[in-house]
């Protein structure tokens, strides 16, 4: 990756090479920047990676839908497909987050079925997620301090559009 474009308008990208050029940046972003941001989410407390992911899933759901509630089975499915963790590992992480002194989440019966269990954020959990957000935002601020506001807007827009497209395609 020795690209030195001074503007996105200068990038020699077309419909045939856009995906390959995007992939050149995906892994460096995912593994270097993504891991630093994830660490930023964890630095404000004592949660491990799995506990942090559960909290962030719930907080993201609240931002997306207005409700910080996700079916337990969906959390298990997401986490076991993304990370090297078993269903029992997810259960242990959930139980830790439920218990005092944290009390960040609670388990309840779902509205759709008596067998369904949903996980939701408590007020304490929401407060902790806001601290996580501030902590991770400071990491992003340090990493992107050389970007102009227009570049930052473009980056957020591109990430939003990719999320919309990938969500629509059900990949």
Domains of the chain, first to last: 16-137 (1.10.10.10)
Q: What is the mean pLDDT of residues 70-84?
A: 91
Say what the pLDDT of residue 7 is.
79
For the stretch 89-101, pLDDT in tens is: 999 999 999 999 9
Contact 128, 104 (CB under 8 A): yes
Q: How far is CA 132 from the centre of its chain?
A: 11
User: Residue 118 belongs to what H/E stretch?
Assistant: strand 117-121
Nearest to 71 by CA among 107, 39, 118, 113: 118
Alpha-carbon Rg of the chain, whole angstroms? 19
Q: At 107, phi and psi to the nearest 5?
A: -105, 135
Residue 83: pLDDT above 90? no
Say what the pLDDT of residue 171 is.
55
Nearest to 69 by CA among 32, 43, 106: 106
Specify the 3-state DSSP secondary structure of 108: strand
Instruction: Report residue 2's pLDDT band, with 50, 70 and 90 as the boundaries.
Output: low
For the stretch 15-56, pLDDT in tens is: 999 889 888 888 888 888 888 888 888 888 789 999 999 999
Q: Which residue has the tokens 């059900």?
A: 170
For the stretch 102-138, pLDDT in tens is: 999 999 998 877 788 999 999 999 999 999 999 999 9
Say what the pLDDT of residue 163 is.
82
């Amino acid at each position: 990756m020795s690209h030195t474009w001074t503007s996105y308008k200068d990038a020699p990208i077309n419909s045939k090479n856009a995906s390959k050029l995007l992939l050149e940046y995906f892994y460096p972003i995912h593994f270097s920047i993504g891991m630093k941001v994830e660490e930023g989410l964890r630095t404000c407390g004592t949660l491990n990676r799995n506990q942090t992911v559960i909290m962030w899933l719930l907080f993201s759901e609240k931002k997306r839908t207005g409700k910080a509630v996700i079916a337990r089975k969906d959390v298990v499915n997401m986490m076991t497909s993304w990370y090297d963790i078993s269903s029992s590992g997810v259960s242990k992480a959930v139980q830790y987050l439920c218990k005092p002194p944290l009390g960040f989440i609670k388990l309840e019966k779902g509205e759709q079925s008596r067998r369904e269990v949903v996980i939701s954020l408590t007020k304490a959990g929401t407060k902790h997620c806001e601290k996580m957000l501030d902590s991770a935002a400071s990491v992003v601020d340090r990493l992107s301090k050389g970007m102009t506001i227009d570049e930052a807007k473009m980056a957020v827009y591109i990430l939003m559009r990719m999320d919309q497209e990938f969500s629509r395609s059900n990949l």
